[in-house]
Chains A and B, each alone.
Chain A
Amino acid sequence: MLLSFARLSFRYLILLIPGLLLGACGTDGSGTEEEDNPYAPTPYALALPKNLPQTVTIPASNPLTVEGVELGRKLFYEVKLSRTGTQSCGSCHQQSKAFTDGLAHAVGVDGAPHPRGAMSLANVLWETSLTWDGASTSLEQQARTPIENAVEMHQLLADGVRKLQQTELYPPLFQKAFGSSTITEDNVLKALAQFERTLISANSRYDKYIRKEGTLTRTEQLGLAVFNNHPGEVGGIFIRGGTCHHCHLDATGLFSSPDFFNNGLDVAFADAGRASVTSLATDRGKFRAPTLRNIALTAPYMHDGRFQTLEQVLDHYNEHVLVNSPGVDPNVLLSNTPGGTHLDLTAAEKTQLIAFLHTLTDTTFIKDSRFSDPFKP
């Protein structure tokens, strides 16, 4: 923890050096806008919750600054980045729903549905592969996709940049954040990524339990055990469990995985999933295991939103996993019945598991004013 903060501070130190040099060069007095507003952004102090990974990868070319994050927040909620001026990132990533939209398929400015659902942005700072198929590996790279995609905001980023440049609001904000009032596509993407990196959710009842600041009920604790137990014989005792943690890693505190899995939804794949990135036949029907943080707020579930409730999700894993789905992950074929062909959790165990999943809801996160729409009173 100390090490990572030291590393961050060191990065800011490096960042400040060119800033100081620029400031010093400005004294020869040629009267540009940059000199009137010297470029000296303030490092953003990112507080890492102690039960989440203490190492973060922030690109050296885009350190977090107070000015960059604040600009990114405005851009996140800026409808000028859509062709029709009707949608922003925040349209499909709504704070009240942990930055999802409640729809099975996100709907873009032209009313056309996206083949997949909008994913939560909680703790996206730590994710090394983004979106359902891992098509992007950095937030800067990813941010362009929904802006330009025909079934999303459907506007070339270059056109969005022109619209922003014509406003009174944005040029000075870009000057403060990036040292130039001439807006560039790269700086729009950088600011959006900076804002997204601040969307940390770690104040749920589960977090407080882990940090020994709060408690869980007996039912919730039993649900946590079901979540983390791998069914099978250990030391002469048959342990019962849902083996959820193999894909939704609890050990990281993120309840997601950078890997891709076929969880036995289909025998034929309408959506190639990971294979649309890798073109490997063995990756067909594999998707990211998304974070389970705030999962009670992010219905419907799966990449195509086919399940409306958490109960339906558990019914899938417990009773309906398709063993003949090509490349189905062996972990979703485990059973609590020796020699069994279904997970076979009891109704009580399912209730416990759902009670536990609700403890991952972070009401602070969805009300945090730092993440809200700055254009709304």
Chain B
Amino acid sequence: MKLRKISAIFFYLLFSSAALTSCKEDSDMQPKVGTLDVAIDHVVGTATLALNTGSYATPAGDQFTVSTFKYYLSNFTLKKADGTTHLVPESYYLVDEAVPASKTFTLSGIPAGDYTSLSFTIGVDSARNVAGAQTGALDPQKNMFWSWNTGYIFTKLEGTSPQAPNTALVFHIGGFKAPHNTIRTISPSLKGATIQVQGTQTPTLHLKADVLKMFTGPTTVRFTQLYNTMGGANSVVVADNQAAGMFVVDYVHAN
């Protein structure tokens, strides 16, 4: 039974690939799709983020170091000037400063066209938070899942600060239930640039994520008071700061 099913899949793949090659002349009829590369730089204000070794200060004057900085981005959506949008399906990415390869990824299957804006979610949508253990970027082995309470940790920043009572900074931003929903969908400006998606070349969207913007913005975070959060009202404060400008488009490279 199982073998039959597998051989059926096998032959299906075999024949479907044969079918694809034989239909080459029809390919002009198909809507063209392309890919978009995303490359993210991590900065702290004007400095490049260096885990463990870099020393930084907030505009309010609190000193800190960073040992862990990772976050989920998901649900990338591109929009054309005429208002049509394309949501890149299954676009869940765990970006981790400690894993350099995670700071670049490719969005594929995008209908060709000129896109004038984009949006994405910092975090993981609520449906995926309650869907239980997952694979890929959402695998609980990535140490970003808290089955007990919040679901996924959307942003994890850990480090030290002499201003924190025990020197520890533990910012685990997560939670998807009102009133402490920390899912934030943002649409950073392309600064007049257009993302031209075509079949033949892959443009690159260069994003900059500024750690300082977790602690500045609508609410100034002082480490004497807020140094540890795992969901709840304090996580909402940080999520609102993040939404207000943590991610900016550096530039779009047409390639």
Contacts and interface: CB of A to CB of B under 8 A. Distances in A.
Interface string A229-252: 111111110000000011001111
Given A235-B180, A257-B143, A331 B6 contact: no
A250 B140 CA distance: 9
Interface stretch (A72-80, A196-204, A332-340): A332-340
Interface string B124-144: 000000000101000111010
Contacts of B16: none
A6 B143 contact: no
Contacts of A229: 148-149
Given A6-B2, A330-B159, A330-B170, A258 B146 contact: no
Contact of B170 (A235, A252, A282, A331): A331
Given A249-B141, A259-B143, A13 B3 contact: yes
B135 A251 contact: no
Interface range on chain B: under 10, 10 to 19, 20 to 34, or 35 or more?
35 or more
B198 interface: no
A359 interface: no
B129 to A, nearest CB: 12
Contacts of B231: 234
By CB atoms of chain A within 10 A, which of B145, B167, B229, B230 has the most? Answer: B230
A228 interface: yes
A146 interface: no
B153 to A, nearest CB: 10
Nearest to A246: B143
A128 interface: yes
A9 B172 contact: no
A323 B161 CA distance: 12
Contact of A55 (B135, B145, B147): B135
Nearest to B136: A55
A236 B233 CA distance: 8
B217 interface: no
A38 B144 CA distance: 49
Nearest to A335: B166
B51 interface: yes
Contacts of A246: 143
Contacts of A335: 165-166
A333 B234 CA distance: 19
Contacts of B172: 230
A333 B166 contact: yes
Nearest to B236: A235
A5, A231, A232, A251 — most chain B CB neighbours (10 Å): A251
A269 interface: no
Interface of B: 2-3, 5-6, 51-53, 67, 133, 135, 139-141, 143, 145-149, 158-160, 165-170, 172, 179-180, 228-234
Given A235-B180, A282-B53, 16 more contacts: A9-B2, A55-B135, A228-B149, A233-B232, A236-B233, A246-B143, A249-B140, A249-B145, A250-B148, A251-B145, A252-B141, A282-B52, A331-B158, A331-B170, A333-B167, A334-B166
